[in-house]
Chains A and B, each alone.
Chain A
Amino acid sequence: EVKLQQSGDELVRPGASVKMSCKASGYTFTDYAMHWVKQSPGQGLEWIGTIIPLIDTTSYNQKFKGKATLTADKSSNTAYMELSRLTSEDSAVYYCARFWGGGYFDYWGQGVMVTVSS
Chain B
Amino acid sequence: DVVMTQTPVSLSVSLGGQVSISCRSSQSLVHNNGNTYLSWYLQKPGQSPQLLIYKVSNRFSGISDRFSGSGSGTDFTLKISRVEPDDLGVYYCGQGTQYPLTFGSGTKLEIK
Contacts and interface: CB of A to CB of B under 8 A. Distances in A.
Interface of A: 35, 44-47, 59, 61-63, 95, 97, 99-100, 102-111
Q: What's the interface size class on B, roughly? A: 20 to 34
Nearest to A105: B51
A46 B94 CA distance: 10
B50 interface: yes
A64 B103 CA distance: 16
Chain B at the A interface: mostly helix, strand, loop or mixed?
loop
Most chain B CB within 10 A, of A44, A47, A104, A105, is at A104
Interface of B: 31, 35, 37, 39, 41, 48-51, 54-55, 60, 92, 94-97, 99-106
Given A44-B103, A44-B104, A47-B103, A100 B54 contact: yes
Contacts of A61: 100
A35 B103 contact: no
